[in-house]
Structure 1
Amino acid sequence: MTRSTGVVVIGGGQSGLAAGYHLRRSGIEHVILDAQTAPGGAWQHTWESLRLFSPAAYSSLPGRFMPAQDGQVYPDAAHAVSYLADYEKRYELPVQRGVRVSAVRRDGGHLRVETDSGDWRARAVISATGTWTRPFLPAVPGRRDFRGRQLHTVQYVSPAEFVGRRVIVVGGGNSGAQIAADLAHAGTDLTWVTQRPPRYLPDDIDGRALFDAATARRKALDAGSTDTGGVAHLGDIVAVPPVRAARDAGLLHAKPMFTRLTPTGAEWADGTTVEVDAVMWCTGFRPALAHLAALRLRGARGHIATVGTRAVDEPRLHLLGYGDWTGPASATLIGVGRPARDAAREIAGLLGS
């Protein structure tokens, strides 16, 4: 069975809900297809101690402030899940759950969205699948020879399973710092390695400043001005309270990146070695875009060219929430609202024509 609608939004996390909010305000018929069986997007799968980078009021989707969490300046992931569930219900967004999209194809004047529960024909598609389902593991020499446990950020839950274990945490971004702090506070035998010395943002800077920096950079680039450097100019790690406490207590000491893994641990260029039981790869993600492969939009380096959120070679397709290339800070709660609004406006113009 093939159903028809104006717009299909693929993904029911924060980006998909922001898109739904603006499409609903514009009176555009749409459906949101989400592979998850419960609301909350990737937030429902994070580690227990994760904290947002900003206070609740500055971690909000369009139209609805996130309420503060009792006793917490920076809300935890469970609070974000509750907020997204309430947001979806409050605005009566048409989310269909447990629907996995396999492909998007051109179908005359429409786009055909193929799923495991039937197809949809739409005049426009917003892809908002995020990155959480595509963890990145670097091609480090010896990675296949290591006999201990290897896991990525997506598999980490709490330090309880690493009590009495020796662990290397790889990564100098926010995930690496937060998980390293989590393990350090629990007394784990920790080795933290980073590509360059950790760059902490000043303690008074959080997600609000990061959003402003990303927006200023995008405006400068659009105007042909000098690149401001954006968020990267400020630093790599937001010093949320657990990270700040571990740093100030002298529990976080980063070593340079090792040159290879051995069957029992890691080795550095100077011959130094360490034996460990587990390697935690906090090495980031890649956009989850396999469902768009049939459209053949990727360039030589696998990148889909966009103007704002609109795909250059397929104007009926918008990409939302994958990073600055689809809108300043669009992978964040506070940042996705503006590109979602812009995508809805462009789609309204397309449908009107």
Structure 2
Amino acid sequence: MASPAPKATLVPGPIIVGGGPSGLAAAACLAAVGIPATVLEKSDDVAPLWRNWTYDRLTLHLPKQFCELPLMGFPASYPKYPTKDQFISYLKSYAAAFGITPRFGCSVERADFDAAEGLWRVRTPGEEFIGKWLVVATGENAEPLVPEFPGISKFSGELMHSSEYKSGEVFEGKKVLVVGCGNSGMEICLDLCRHNARPSMVVRNNVHVLPREMMGCSTFGIAMALRKWLPLKLVDSILLFMAQMKLGNTEPLGLRRPKAGPIELKDLTGKTPVIDVGALSLIKSGMIKVTEGVREMTREGAKFVDGKEEEFDSIILATGYKSCVPLWLKGGGGGHFTEEGLPKAPFPKGWKGKNGLYAVGFTRRGILGTSFDARNIARDIKLQWHVARS
């Protein structure tokens, strides 16, 4: 017997897929201009990535003024760099302030554009939502990225992705290999050291390491200010000179800098420079060991590209995340998205597709990029709203 057709629900405003910061920002900007949105979130609360996939000691790497969602700042009582729990509390307050009530437990199975009706059909288990506009707000970091390392299935110790890591407490006294030298990899190594573990960090690619602050000011804030007045390459030169003065030459530590400057590289590839919050001093002291890339994993540990082999109790894959868009948005949203689930058009044009399709949170520019997208989406839909309602 064929399964029954899902309940069909026609919604008046946009359908937003994703209840994280990007989805909330889009819904708030729409609410501010009087447009209701239906937010679909597969988990049981807002910001599931922040609640479930981040480690306990996490704080924002940038000052709070650069991490605010549109139309509402952080409480004045929050510190300069809010904690994970404070950021989650802010998001919940943000949703309440704008009357955003996501439909939780709504895992989107597929979304298609019905050309005959000029409407989007978004299917979840047991219900299909139908609307004129679809906002893809699942973001760049929706699913853990686990590369296929040779021999990974042989390793007999504990193997996890960084999304599962909470605290170094359970690793006390253990040798731990952390694969990845981004912000997560660096901070996990730092946390492991503070719990008397012995971490080694795999550096597979060149990486920029910048201090969190320079001369008492946020490095990111300095970069943003300089970009208003100076060419990008000159800004990068200034940042690298100041980083050299404060951190020293990182190349002898196994942390070779890319040829492109940190801001240029971020703009071109989305690769974020590492903001040092203490790991670099532990690398210098030898408490965090830097190793070259992994050639293959073994039953007891790993073999490296330099020919060395070492045993480890645990391996943590700080290998980042990927988009989940290809899993549910059919046809790439009319070709708006790549096979990797990112908008084909580079920033600042990736927020708008065809047939009422929008994307928020795919700019590779953090919350500032999310805010840019959300405001543009609300303005664009507002122009169509009264026509659609007449």
Contact preservation (8 Å) 1:101, 1:113: yes
Aligned twin of 2:111: 104
Aligned twin of 2:81: 74
Contact preservation (8 Å) 2:134, 2:357: yes
Aligned twin of 1:2: 8
Alignment equivalent of 2:329, drawn from 292, 295, 316:
292
- The letter for the 1-side match of 2:67 is S
Contact preservation (8 Å) 2:183, 2:275: yes
- Pair 1:251 & 2:296 matched: no
Alignment equivalent of 1:129, drawn from 126, 138, 152:
138
Aligned twin of 1:50: 58
Aligned twin of 1:322: 362
- Pair 1:348 & 2:388 matched: no
The within-5 A match list for 1:192-207 is 192-196=201-205, 198-204=207-213, 205-207=218-220
Aligned twin of 2:23: 16
| Larger CA Rg, structure 1 vs 2 | 2
Distance 2:229 2:292 in 1: 32
The within-5 A match list for 1:126-275 is 126-196=135-205, 198-204=207-213, 205-208=218-221, 229-231=264-266, 236-240=273-277, 242-243=278-279, 246=282, 250-275=286-311
CA RMSD, 1 decimal: 3.1
Aligned twin of 1:28: 35
Distance 1:13 1:176 in 2: 23
Per-residue deviation, residues 244-264 of structure 1 (Å, max 9, x unmatched): 664575533422112111111
- Pair 1:335 & 2:335 matched: no
Per-residue deviation, residues 57-83 of structure 1 (Å, max 9, x unmatched): 33211111112566x532211111100
Distance 1:19 1:213 in 2: 29
Percent identity (aligned): 25
Distance 1:207 1:34 in 2: 31
Per-residue deviation, residues 120-158 of structure 1 (Å, max 9, x unmatched): 111111011124441111222222222222111111111
Aligned twin of 1:282: 318
Alignment equivalent of 1:308, drawn from 350, 374, 385:
350
Distance 2:341 2:97 in 1: 38
Contact preservation (8 Å) 1:197, 1:256: no
* 1:49 Cα deviation from its structure 2 partner: 0.7
Per-residue deviation, residues 45-65 of structure 1 (Å, max 9, x unmatched): 111011111222332111111
Aligned twin of 1:38: 45
- The letter for the 2-side match of 1:345 is R
| CA 1:230–1:66: 2 relative to 1, 3 Å | farther
**Count of aligned residue pairs for this structure pair:** 337
Per-residue deviation, residues 300-338 of structure 1 (Å, max 9, x unmatched): 676542433113xx34111111233xxxx1xx2343111
- The letter for the 2-side match of 1:89 is A
The range that moved more, 166-175 or 247-256, is 247-256
Distance 1:277 1:158 in 2: 16
Distance 2:42 2:227 in 1: 30
Distance 2:26 2:86 in 1: 21
Aligned twin of 1:223: none
Contact preservation (8 Å) 2:161, 2:317: yes
Describe the SS at the equivalent of 2:329.
helix
| CA 1:192–1:215: 2 relative to 1, 3 Å | farther
| CA 1:61–1:301: 2 relative to 1, 3 Å | closer
| CA 1:293–1:271: 2 relative to 1, 3 Å | same
TM-score (norm 1): 0.85
| CA 1:207–1:67: 2 relative to 1, 3 Å | farther
- The letter for the 2-side match of 1:305 is K
- The letter for the 2-side match of 1:24 is A
| CA 1:246–1:211: 2 relative to 1, 3 Å | farther
Distance 2:73 2:138 in 1: 23
- The letter for the 2-side match of 1:347 is I
* 1:117 Cα deviation from its structure 2 partner: 4.5
Q: Note the residue ranges of structure 1 that are not aligned, 5 or more in a row.
A: 221-225
Distance 1:235 1:30 in 2: 32
Distance 1:272 1:196 in 2: 18
Distance 2:272 2:341 in 1: 27
| CA 1:323–1:254: 2 relative to 1, 3 Å | farther
Per-residue deviation, residues 185-217 of structure 1 (Å, max 9, x unmatched): 211121111113553113424554577799999
* 1:230 Cα deviation from its structure 2 partner: 4.9
TM-score (norm 2): 0.77
Contact preservation (8 Å) 1:197, 1:254: no
Distance 2:342 2:67 in 1: 28
| CA 1:338–1:53: 2 relative to 1, 3 Å | same
Distance 1:235 1:349 in 2: 35
Distance 2:380 2:25 in 1: 15
Aligned twin of 2:102: 95
